Amino acid sequence: MNNVIVHSFFSDFDINLFKAGKHYRLYEKLGSHITSVNGVKGTYFAVWAPAAKSVSVIGDFNYWTEGKHQLNVRWDSSGIWEGFIPGVTMGALYKYKIHSNHNDIKTEKADPYARRCEHPPKTASVVWDSQYDWNDRSWMQKRHQNNAIDAPFSVYEVHLGSWKKKIEEDRSLSYTELSEELVNYVKEMQFTHVELMPVMEHPYDPSWGYQITGYFAPTSRFGYPEEFKTLVDKLHQNDIGIILDWVPSHFPEDAHGLGFFDGTCLYEHPDRKKGYHPDWKSLIFNYERNEVKSFLISNALFWLDEYHIDGLRVDAVASMLFLDYSREDGEWDANIYGGRENLAAIDFMKELNTEIYSSFPDVQTIAEESTSFPMVSKPTYLGGLGFGMKWMMGWMHDTLLYFAKESVHRKFHQNDLTFSMTYAFTENFMLPLSHDEVVYGKRSIIGRMPGDEWQQFANLRLLYSYMFTHPGTNLLFMGAEFAQRDEWNFIESLDWHLLQYQYHNGIKNTIKDLNILYRNNEALFEQQFNISGFEWITYDDHENSIIAYIRKDLKNEKPLIVVCNFTPVPRVEYRIGLPQEGVLEEVFNSDHKKYGGSGVSNTNQIQIENKKWHYREHSAKIKIPPLATVVLRYNN
């Protein structure tokens, strides 16, 4: 006997949108939803499985028996199966048992739209109705200011499972514990935003969350969905934005996941040249299928809508853009124009960004894109992909390569450092020192620095201060802010005990003060994506391995002068050309003793002279400490 009552959340208009790939709120329709029908409380289920001959809901309420609760297929060829099951309420475990028309195959799948999942390695979906009273109205009302591209954007990247652990209990912190400890720490460090590596449910810890099976469910490893909302809420109450890593590029082949969902390639592209990722041994979404586009765009909007998320960092964009990504000749087919671009994926990204910025104009999307594909962060109406920002992978690669060199050799490689300025304003760039740079034998950031211990830490302070004063926004992976020595290990906690040592604590203080400098000086953020906000003073003093530049605010009333010395030789009377007369004062010095430096500084105000230098009418002599950055400001 089938105990399913015919019921639907879908209107004809919903179905037309779904078929056209234009339904961007599918989480309100598909999945499981607690409701009442004719006064009887239960749960409405709906799942897309067009190749099925039958779909049963199996769960702990029917002893996981196929056929007891068989859904009804809609008459409109949408491929949606739906129905209401009385008595099924909050917390019920379930899956879909799908009997396919294709080769009589049967699959047993978790709900693609489930709001909660069992704790891995268990794989069932959980009926859930996440009620939460938000207390972040103040943040949401001013978010358009805090998230603007002319606002400070300093991001702390976090892997929740290994940021800090309860050692005595051998466990990670819960969402509730993180809402106190992580929030307080980020606030102390003065970061403007937190970026979380994927929090969506995933079966395999070593994937770091990038192999997702539950796209609409925060992982149960750290608590309930409401507790994750508490973490978001607490961040907002402390004026901290939250960005989520989001993975629309691929998904794993786990039996309960999206792959081969109804006995056919439903979510993945049926052509393995387009549907399988050789590097990650995972499946690639079929961007040519309207219903799949609706799934992905609905998922992006779900996190922005239901969880008040402030931005999405879109993972592996390059792998989506190019048909030949990680493929040899013969392993890929050209597009209809003979090119290597994945035209369907490009259209998807444009549609995604158009809808996000239309519905949530006060958020940001950030592309992790490693190629020279043009106009990634330009608006779609100008022909761009429409992202708000793009990771500046070239800057990261060239800068780390330069800093790894002994200082005596750096004069031969100054171009590695200055080259980024030739393209710095072609995109809205974010400068990333992410988790990818401290794994797989690459060493920690401090581990790449040359010289003795003092020089290593001086180099690191120099790197960070150069990064924070370079045009663009910033991202730093957890542990790098106090110079963790070991590579990141997702199993273990960060080495917080290092903060008892002067040099490590000095790096932490450096980052905190750089965040304060960045937030409090309009010259560092008002024109961070505009060439008008930057001007070289000198980039070709390779003999001394020194560069100097000006960062300018919108009105050019409060410019900052930045001077970097990439050698351990202090320069006590180094003359720089300046844009105007007046008096300079030192507002930041990475060689300060409180950071572990030697203390060489410009303690007195610097009088600017009417003496030509660096093709300018005015100049001044300043002290430049060894392996350090000095930031000066006019004080007229």
In a domain, 151, yes or no: no
Q: Does the pLDDT of residue 3 top 90, yes or no?
A: no
- pLDDT tens per residue, range 100-136: 998 889 999 999 999 999 999 999 999 999 889 999 9
pLDDT recorded at residue 168: 84
In a domain, 181, yes or no: no
Domain boundary among 49, 84, 109: 109
Q: Which of 82, 315, 351, 398 is catalytic?
A: 315
Instruction: Indicate the pLDDT class of residue 34, thresholds 50, 70 and 90.
Output: very high
∠ CA 460-466-470 to the nearest 5 degrees? 150
In the three-class reduction of DSSP (H, G, I as helix; E, B as strand; rest coil), residue 399 is classed as: helix
Domain boundary among 93, 109, 125: 109
∠ CA 2-6-10 to the nearest 5 degrees? 140
In a domain, 330, yes or no: no
Reported residue count of the chain is 636
Cα–Cα nearest to 225, from 109, 312, 129, 296? 129
**Domain range enclosing 598:** 531-634
Cα–Cα nearest to 364, from 453, 429, 293? 429
Mean pLDDT of the chain: 96
In a domain, 593, yes or no: yes
b or e along 185-210 (b: 16 or more beta carbons within 10 Å of the residue's beta carbon)? Answer: bbeebbbbbbbbbbbbbbbeeebbbb
In a domain, 543, yes or no: yes
Instruction: Indicate the pLDDT class of residue 1, thresholds 50, 70 and 90.
Output: low
Domain boundary among 83, 109, 135: 109
Measured CA to CA, the distance from residue 414 to residue 466 in angstroms comes to 14
Q: How far is CA 329 from CA 158, 284, 344, in A?
A: 38, 19, 21
- pLDDT tens per residue, range 258-275: 999 999 999 999 999 999
The values of phi and psi at residue 232, to 5°, are -60, -45
- The stretch 37-54 carries a mean pLDDT of 96
Measured CA to CA, the distance from residue 523 to residue 550 in angstroms comes to 9
- pLDDT tens per residue, range 549-564: 999 999 888 999 999 9
CATH of the domain at 578: 2.60.40.1180
Say if residues 219 and 178 touch (Cβ distance below 8 Å): no
E strand or H helix at 41? strand 40-48
Q: Does the pLDDT of residue 386 top 60, yes or no?
A: yes
CATH of the domain at 66: 2.60.40.10
Query: What's 50's DSSP letter?
Result: T
Say if residues 320 and 352 touch (Cβ distance below 8 Å): no
329 an active-site residue?
A: no
Measured CA to CA, the distance from residue 450 to residue 513 in angstroms comes to 24
Say if residues 128 and 90 touch (Cβ distance below 8 Å): yes
Q: Which of 82, 157, 368, 522 is catalytic?
A: 368
Both tokens of 556, joined, read 């050019």
For tokens 């400070």, the residue is: 152
In a domain, 420, yes or no: no
Cα–Cα nearest to 400, from 362, 457, 445, 340? 445
Measured CA to CA, the distance from residue 445 to residue 580 in angstroms comes to 38
Looking at the structure of the chain, the number of domains it has is: 2
What single-letter amino acid sits at 577?
G
> What residues contact residue 475 under an 8 Å CB cut-off, 6+ apart?
155, 156, 157, 195, 391, 430, 431, 432, 433, 434
315 an active-site residue?
A: yes
In a domain, 252, yes or no: no
Q: Does the pLDDT of residue 636 top 80, yes or no?
A: no
Strands 429-433 and 389-391: parallel
In a domain, 549, yes or no: yes
Cα–Cα nearest to 581, from 528, 627, 618? 618
